[in-house]
Copies of this chain bind each other. A is one copy, B any other.
Amino acid sequence: MTGPIHELIELFARFPGIGRRSATRLVFHLLDMNPEFAARLGESLLSFHQRIVRCGVCANMSDSDPCGICTDRGRDKTTICVVENVPDLWAVDAGGTYRGRFHVLHGLLSPLDGIGPDDLHLEQLLERVAAGGVAEVIVATRPSVEGEATALLIRRTLEKTAVKVSRIASGVPHGSELEYADARTLERAFADRRELP
């Protein structure tokens, strides 16, 4: 099978979570839509990578360097939240609890995948902290072997500085049932228990 319809289906089907069936539905939907939409989507994709830059301060990906978060005067400059990747930054930011700055690692320590300490841009984090004005670094990597190893590495990297290094809590998620929590989650929830006032 050839032609523009098949070509587009093949391309859409390369995205994770989009099978051939979904890709076919998307393309036929596109065929029924205003041609302007396909053109806008096409233009947006064509220039996408050129319009995205990595922030020289926090390594966030956006259309400006430094990024909008680093230049946002409304944010608390005394805290840096360290995240694995940009989607995690978005998730923490959308949560609304944290209103400080970020540092994006673009990965986690994972010797099996060939990701060592030098691949996580920790010198940049150390420089930011050494420059002064930062009171706390909150490590918000995921609670996994790699996430914990990365958190320990960050604490070690920053131990010569006076900064406080903390780790987000791991435990039973809000609204879920203990019945469905795995043993490791329960272990963490008990280990990190806090005294009620």
Which residues of A are at the interface with B, using a C-beta cutoff of 8 A? Answer: 3-5, 7-8, 11-12, 14-18, 22, 24-26, 28-31, 35, 37-52, 61-63, 68, 85-87, 90
Contacts and interface: CB of A to CB of B under 8 A. Distances in A.
A45 B49 contact: no
Given A24-B87, A42-B46, A87-B28, A52 B15 contact: no
Contact of A61 (B5, B38, B62, B68): B5
B44 A49 contact: no
A54 B14 CA distance: 27
Contacts of A26: 15, 17-18
B37 A46 contact: no
A48 B8 contact: yes
Contacts of A25: 16-17, 87
A38 B86 CA distance: 18
Given A42-B44, A42-B46, 20 more contacts: A3-B62, A4-B44, A4-B48, A4-B51, A4-B63, A5-B61, A7-B44, A8-B45, A11-B41, A11-B44, A16-B25, A24-B87, A25-B87, A28-B85, A30-B48, A31-B49, A35-B48, A35-B50, A39-B49, A45-B45
B8 A62 contact: no
A16 to B, nearest CB: 6
